[in-house]
Amino acid sequence: MTVEKLFIGIAIVSAFIVGFRFFKQKANGIFLTFVQTFLGLLFIFSGVVKAIDPLGTAYKLHDYFGSFAQDGMADFWYKMEEFDVIFSVSMIVFEIALGVAILIGWRAILATFGMLAINIFFLFLTGYSYLSGHCITKMGMLVPLFLFLLILFSSFLNNDTKRRQALSLSLFLCIGFLGYCKMSGSCLACEFTATKMKVTDCGCFGDFMKLKPWVTFYKDILLTILSLLIVWYKNDIKPVFNSKIQDSITLTGTGLALMFCLYNFVWTLPIVDFRPYAIGNNIKDKMIDEKPAIIENILIYKNTQTGEKKEFGINELPTDTIWQYADRLDKVIDEGILAPIKNLRLTNDQDADITQDLLNETQVTYWIVCSKLAKTNREALKEKIVPFAKKMNAKGIKTYMLLPMQDESMKKEMGDDFIYLSADETALKTMIRSNPGIMKIENGTVKNMWHWRQFNGEE
């Protein structure tokens, strides 16, 4: 699935809905109704995909907060990391509720303003991801923030003429600022380099569909423009049903979205697993590049006499002593199709890498995954998993406990029926959306997995 195919599919469905609305009742203008329907369906789809795995979105927000902390206000952003799950669920529910509200024309002022606000929020995140690869300057960050506030202020104006004038001015200023950045070079301090990006994936569609940073950025620019359009003509949007029915539909949709989010991580694992560790996948296969990337190493030399900088290939380095090495650039010729699992390294208490040994074990083994020790449910470990490990140990079946670090207190508390291993916290969080979580592995293949609430101690 690509974003182009997704947009075409939603556009086709939107066209059918618009045609039906005009057949059954005279709606507002065809184009405005189409934009309204398209945004509503897209946001419902995007929200539902993320609601399948709210923890995945929470982890992505955690990455953003950590990255923001490096740019300033570190104490504040590190504090925000503690609320990543709450932010994730709130954002997902809000996204779905907005999609429903826009689709049926519920309270146009609130719905259109909310749609614009969340699209600008997403645009900020994706812009931060992509533009950080260009070394964004303070001007490149502060001016867009000012324009964002101006657009929000403009959308609050009730007078149609003043609102449209203010939004037109805001759009004109945005275009002017982009032109200034392009010509002056005062907003981006360096050429784009993927490795400089602070957050490489926005998580717009969860693990269902991974988009390149520039694709997500341009996508959100388009959606923000469409959101400005419906704010511009918000008084022309006609509700599909009467106010009581619309209130009931929006409230019900919000409640169902919240329950669906909670179901997919509080009570059980995600109902659909888009991750590379899904049941049936072979972890060893997922660690191999399907098509290796082709990267050309470019070396940059500086002429000590003229100050000129010039790029040279690895086989054409200058021999003249006036050229002095200055920098290195890795030029991507072909991005290839890289392995979905790139950061799995399992080490024992001697810090020896035994990843391949585990994945090549032909006998069934069980992995007890504890992704973050401070948030691991210790009672679930004691009551459900320790007795299970004792039973497996008696049968000669190995049970490994995977921790983000070797922890002596955990070993002392849970006993010696486990083989304790360490792994990167991100890898552990990707394996299973439960802390602790239980995985059944055979010859590197994921045979089954359980949320700790579902686990009854059976093999």
pLDDT digits (tens, 9 = 90+) for 343-359: 899 998 888 999 999 99
Q: From its phi and psi, is residue 303 left (phi > 0), alpha (psi between -120 and 50) or beta? A: beta
Final residue in a domain of this structure, among 223, 252, 267 = 267
Quick check: 341 and 373 in contact, CB under 8 A?
Answer: no
Residue 158 falls inside a structural domain: no
Quick check: 145 and 121 in contact, CB under 8 A?
Answer: no
Same domain, 68 and 195: yes
Whether residue 436 has a cis bond before it, omega within 30° of 0? yes
Question: Which range of residues forms the domain containing residue 306?
Answer: 290-334
Quick check: 454 and 264 in contact, CB under 8 A?
Answer: no
Residue 350 falls inside a structural domain: no
The CB density around residue 18, as the number of other CB atoms within 10 Å, is 20
Residue 113 CA to residue 149 CA, distance in Å, equals 13
Same domain, 394 and 296: no
Residue 457 falls inside a structural domain: no
Q: Could you list the mean pLDDT of each consecutive 10-residue stretch along the chain, which spans 459 residues?
A: 86 90 72 90 94 90 81 79 89 94 88 88 81 72 78 74 79 81 72 66 76 82 87 82 90 94 92 92 90 79 83 80 81 76 89 92 94 90 92 92 88 89 92 94 94 84
User: What confidence tens digit (pLDDT) does each residue in 350-395 have?
Assistant: 889 999 999 999 999 999 999 988 889 999 999 999 999 999 998 9
Residue 181 falls inside a structural domain: no
294 residue type, one letter = I
Same domain, 362 and 426: yes
- The structure tokens listed for 17 are 């809905």
- Domain of 405, CATH number, reads 3.40.30.10
Residue 55 falls inside a structural domain: yes
Residue 365 falls inside a structural domain: yes
Same domain, 248 and 116: yes
Same domain, 233 and 318: no
Same domain, 304 and 367: no
In total, how many domains does the chain have? 3
- The structure tokens listed for 230 are 């419906």
pTM: 0.82
Same domain, 131 and 195: yes
| Confidence at residue 318, expressed as pLDDT on a 0 to 100 scale | 82
Instruction: Tell me the β-bridge partners of 400.
Output: 367, 419
Same domain, 311 and 436: no
Same domain, 309 and 221: no
| Confidence at residue 397, expressed as pLDDT on a 0 to 100 scale | 93
Quick check: 77 and 65 in contact, CB under 8 A?
Answer: yes
| Confidence at residue 289, expressed as pLDDT on a 0 to 100 scale | 83
For residue 211, the number of C-alpha atoms closer than 13 Å in the C-beta half-sphere is 21
The CB density around residue 160, as the number of other CB atoms within 10 Å, is 13
Residue 159 falls inside a structural domain: no
Final residue in a domain of this structure, among 300, 334, 368 = 334
Residue 416 falls inside a structural domain: yes
Same domain, 37 and 97: yes
Final residue in a domain of this structure, among 299, 334, 369 = 334
Quick check: 99 and 257 in contact, CB under 8 A?
Answer: no
Same domain, 199 and 102: yes
438: helix, strand or coil? strand
All residues at 6 or more sequence positions from 298 whose CB lies less than 8 Å from its CB, including other chains = 311, 312, 313, 328, 329, 330, 331
Question: What is the rounded radius of gyration, in angstroms, for the C-alpha atoms of the chain?
Answer: 26
Same domain, 261 and 394: no
